């Protein structure tokens, strides 16, 4: 048993869990950052950076990994060979904790289902392909050509299904798909815990006049259902949004709002808000700039058996302009 | 042709004909594009419009931008006039005849907007603000507001002063 690579694998697993749920024990935040959100003229492009970091919005920890992007090798702390991370590596999927996978296949054929998927929705509601996909030591990056006028939603989504249970005094861990759950996870076991995790990180950009077709929630996981258009945000005005979980209002949910530029101030200036009975919350912006908003939802008690308890996270980067 | 007409009006105003009775009420705007000593200078994009108290636009008066670039590329920076872009710009397909024209050199520029015979159109009686917004490539942005009531009961001379991207702004209302 070679010790170092194994340890590294655990480390990567822990990072992966944080991508799915940035409000974990660690303070790392996952985010997308657009080069522009409000554009005029024609032949417009935006570049999007995707990263996981402590401070917003600096590339200082890890690239945010997206399926279908090139692969790079990162040697961390001078370890030999242990630091390889595939482009579609199992980010955003593994359970928190860090014991080795037991039972099931952690990397099922057909690619890792837990890698972040990029989903760009154009003004007409149709899918748009990302271009010039690249990855570096600290960030992933891609371009989006805004061929049609209107609003685009650029999102990454993570989905994972995990189980853990005790077998002969040993903790078993499993990760897989809903189809394989019944085949590979026992119906009854000591301390059986099945969790379905969903994460969504997104930004909005508009060429010309803002439109709303791309903003419609998909009805899966935790999502933003904007009331104020997310590309029409100005200092001194209150913006209103709704959070929905599986398409229904997410009531009494804590929402965190943090302005960019943390490196150059002493105070985090974090705003903690709460959604009302309609799942709505309102933000009054003090300064122009980029803002990171984040919310998480989690079942305290699972329904039991193999029915998964739910865990979902939402994050968006919004640009606020001056008057 | 449009430029010639506005120059004629400008001459008329300068010669002191402004006090002469006119058939219609009129707004005259004198805006100064400041001369700046900077390494890279581009003439600013400037938009002026009339806003209602709810910030909706009652009239789009003028938009100066780089109309000569090929493929209408000058429209790329229209969004830098952020308030104008938000209030009406993004709903327009530029250039708009009678509204848009080329950027202007540093100095004072006079424009006349007779009611019913210009981009001013006709204004319902009420409170308004005349807004002038300037944005300069590799430079800054500035926005000035001059509140007024329409129709003016008597001739009025209203002023605002810019600090960096705009100089003196003078709004003359003629009843």
User: For residue A12, is pLDDT > 70?
Assistant: no
Q: Calculate mean pLDDT across residues A258-267.
A: 94
Verify whether the Cβ–Cβ distance A40 to B89 is below 8 Å. Answer: yes
Q: How far apart are CA A171 and CA A188, in angstroms?
A: 14
- At A71, is the pLDDT very low, low, confident or very high (cuts 50, 70, 90)? confident
> How far is A322 from chain B, CA to nearest CA, in Å?
8
User: For residue B5, is pLDDT > 50?
Assistant: no
Q: A212-249 pLDDT, tens per residue?
A: 999 999 999 999 999 999 999 999 999 999 999 999 99
Q: How far apart are CA A57 and CA A290, in angstroms?
A: 9
> What is this model's ipTM?
0.82
| Residue B145 in contact with partner chain A when CB distance is under 8 A | no
Q: What's B41's domain CATH number? A: 2.60.40
Indicate the average pLDDT of chain B.
89
Q: A93-133 pLDDT, tens per residue?
A: 333 333 333 333 333 333 333 479 999 999 999 999 999 99
- At A76, is the pLDDT very low, low, confident or very high (cuts 50, 70, 90)? low
> How far is A154 from chain B, CA to nearest CA, in Å?
21
Q: How far apart are CA B175 and CA B167, in angstroms?
A: 26
**Count: domains in chain B:** 1
Closest CA in chain A for residue B74: A41
Q: How far apart are CA A128 and CA A154, in angstroms?
A: 9
Query: Which of A310, A322, A319, A2 has the alpha carbon at shortest distance from A161?
Result: A310
Whether A323 and A276 have beta carbons less than 8 Å apart is answered as no
- At A1, is the pLDDT very low, low, confident or very high (cuts 50, 70, 90)? very low
What would the two tokens of residue A246 be? 């599986």
> How far is B125 from chain A, CA to nearest CA, in Å?
27
Domain map (residue ranges) of chain A: 3-320
**Strand locations in A99-237, DSSP E?**
117-121, 127-128, 131-135, 140-146, 150-167, 170-175, 190-207, 222-226
Strands B156-161 and B141-150: what pairing? unpaired
Give the range of the structural domain holding residue B35, as residue numbers without chain letter.
Answer: 2-174
| Residue B163 in contact with partner chain A when CB distance is under 8 A | no
């Amino acid at each position: 048993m070679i010790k170092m690579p194994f340890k590294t694998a655990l480390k990567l697993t822990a990072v992966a869990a944080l991508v799915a749920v940035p409000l974990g024990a660690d303070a790392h935040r996952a985010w997308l950052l657009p080069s522009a959100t409000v554009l005029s003229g024609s032949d417009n492009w935006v570049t999007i950076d995707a990263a996981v970091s402590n401070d917003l919005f600096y590339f200082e920890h890890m690239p945010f990994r997206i399926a279908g992007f090139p692969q790079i090798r990162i040697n961390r702390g001078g370890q030999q060979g242990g630091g390889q991370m595939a482009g579609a590596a199992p980010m955003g999927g593994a359970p928190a904790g860090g014991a080795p996978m037991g039972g099931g296949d952690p990397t099922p054929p057909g690619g890792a289902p837990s890698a972040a998927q990029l989903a760009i929705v154009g003004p007409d509601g149709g899918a748009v392909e990302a271009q010039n996909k690249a990855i570096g030591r600290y960030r992933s990056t891609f371009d989006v050509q805004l061929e049609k006028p209107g609003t685009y939603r650029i999102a990454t989504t993570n989905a994972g299904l995990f189980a853990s249970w005790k077998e002969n005094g040993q903790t078993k861990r499993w990760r897989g798909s809903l189809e394989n759950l019944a085949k590979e996870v026992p119906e009854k076991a000591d301390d059986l815990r099945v969790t379905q995790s969903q994460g969504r990180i997104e930004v909005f950009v508009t060429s010309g006049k803002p439109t709303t077709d791309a903003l419609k929630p998909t009805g899966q996981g935790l999502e933003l259902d904007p009331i104020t258009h997310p590309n029409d945000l100005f200092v001194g005005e209150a913006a209103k949004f709704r959070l929905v979980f599986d398409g229904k209002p997410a009531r009494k949910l804590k929402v965190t709002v943090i302005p960019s530029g943390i490196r150059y101030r002493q105070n985090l200036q974090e705003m903690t808000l709460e959604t009302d009975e309609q799942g709505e919350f309102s933000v009054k912006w003090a300064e122009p700039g980029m803002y990171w908003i984040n919310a998480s939802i989690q079942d305290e008690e699972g329904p039991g058996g193999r029915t998964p308890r739910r865990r979902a996270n939402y994050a968006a980067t919004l640009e606020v302009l001056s008057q | 042709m449009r430029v010639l007409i506005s120059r004629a009006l400008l001459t008329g105003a300068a010669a002191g004909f402004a006090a002469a009775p006119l058939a219609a009420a009129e707004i005259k705007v004198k805006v100064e594009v400041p001369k700046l000593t900077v390494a890279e200078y581009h003439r600013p994009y400037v938009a002026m419009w009339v806003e209602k108290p709810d910030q909706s636009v009652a009239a789009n008066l003028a938009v100066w931008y780089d109309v000569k670039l090929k493929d209408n590329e000058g429209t790329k920076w229209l969004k830098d006039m952020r308030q104008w872009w938000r209030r009406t710009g993004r709903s327009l397909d530029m250039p708009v005849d009678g509204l848009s024209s080329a950027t202007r050199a540093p100095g004072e520029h006079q424009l006349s907007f007779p009611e019913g015979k210009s981009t001013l159109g006709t204004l319902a009686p009420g409170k308004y603000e005349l807004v002038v917004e300037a944005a300069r490539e590799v430079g800054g942005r500035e926005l000035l507001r001059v509140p007024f009531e329409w129709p003016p009961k008597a001739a009025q001379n209203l002023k605002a002063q810019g600090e960096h991207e705009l100089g003196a702004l003078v709004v003359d209302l003629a009843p």
